[in-house]
Structure 1
Amino acid sequence: MSEATRVGAFAIVPSNDLAAAIPFWERLGFARAGGDAGYVIMRGWDCEVHLTQAGDGPWRVPEHNPFGVFIRTPDVDQIAARVDDLIIRPGGVLRHREWGMYEVGINGPDGLLVRIGWPSELMARPS
């Protein structure tokens, strides 16, 4: 392993087309770090996401996907710039939210909601 193993909780995200989901995560700045044909581990931004091939279920229709992932990182602006075309508009645009997070919402594979954010109070304010 090139990175030190660390303690954490990581999302396992089912995908209708696992091979098609990998480039989405690569656009976000993640890289494949392990796995096999049916289970892929992606790492980036000091986070880890595990992708798996979906089984049967009503959520396989993207409009019914109940899953979401939140990536907490101070690099919100940088990631949002990489995927501007995927930002959910108007509601998901990058801004400080009333719940105290500076975040953006993007539409992922199979209708997966991906939110990227960092506490507003920790964001560097322009001088």
Structure 2
Amino acid sequence: MVSSESAAVSWSGSASAILPVAELDRAVTFYRELGFDVQVAEVGGYAFVEASGIRFHLSESPGFDPFTDAGMIYLYVDDVDSVHAALSLPSADSLPHQYLVERRMRGESLARIGVLRDEEWGMREFYFTDPDNNLVRVGSRLPASD
């Protein structure tokens, strides 16, 4: 806690979410295919993902279970419609849970994409999951209605 007698904390800087992954190489390939620049760290199963100011990290995690250990991140973009249109992933609606479990057991990707829609909280958004079932929500603010 910051004491009431001290100056306010200055939260100046930046932050990056860290998504856990089972296989770093597969995750790096996936994000590169989506158009991100991915730099693999020289040491220790780690990578830095970036595109146009969007930044996050990937961390290879031993014993990773995509159904209990997956992470989440929200990416704010200028044109969510064009991002959604550019992604070529299986529809989330066509991949029920049991099918995903079977895919995981075969070592296959769990990547899929959801529908694009306007939400009551003022965002137009969709989600996709990466091969390790990390949830990536992507959105743009809706124009204010008068």
TM-score normalised per structure 1:
0.76
Q: Are 1:61 and 2:65 counterparts? A: yes
- Percent identical among aligned pairs is 30
Of the three residues 24, 40, 48, the one matched with 2:47 is 40
Task: After TM superposition, list the pairs within 5 Å mapping 1:80-95 onto structure 2.
Answer: 80-89=84-93, 92-95=114-117
**Distance in 1 between the 2:139 and 2:25 partners?**
26
Secondary structure of the residue aligned to 1:61 is: coil
Compare the two structures and name the one with the higher strand fraction: 1
Structure 2: distance between partners of 1:11 and 1:93: 24
Q: Where does structure 1 differ by over 4 angstroms across 4 or more consecutive aligned residues?
A: none
d(CA) in 1 for partners of 2:79 and 2:34?
11
User: 2:77 aligns to what?
Assistant: 73
Structure-2 change in CA distance of 1:97 and 1:79 (3 Å): same
Using the TM superposition, give the Cα deviation of residue 84 of structure 1 relative to its aligned residue in structure 2, in angstroms.
Answer: 3.6
* Contact residue 70 and residue 132 of structure 2 kept, 8 A: no
2:23 to 12, 17, 39: 17
Cα offset for 1:87?
A: 4.7
What's the CA shift for 1:71? 0.6
Q: Equivalents in 1 of 2:139, 2:41: separation in Å?
A: 27
> Hey, what's the Cα distance between the residues in 1 that align with 2:72 and 2:24?
16
- Aligned equivalent of 2:141, options 114, 119, 122: 119
2:118 paired residue number: 96
The total of aligned residue pairs comes to 114
SS at match of 1:77: helix
Q: Would the alpha carbon gap of residues 50 and 110 (structure 1) be closer, same or farther in structure 2, given more than 3 Å must change?
A: same
| Structure 2: 5+ residue stretches without partners | 1-12, 95-112
In structure 2, how many angstroms separate the alpha carbons of the residues matched to 1:76 and 1:86?
18
How far apart, CA to CA, are the structure 1 residues paired with 2:79 and 2:39? 20
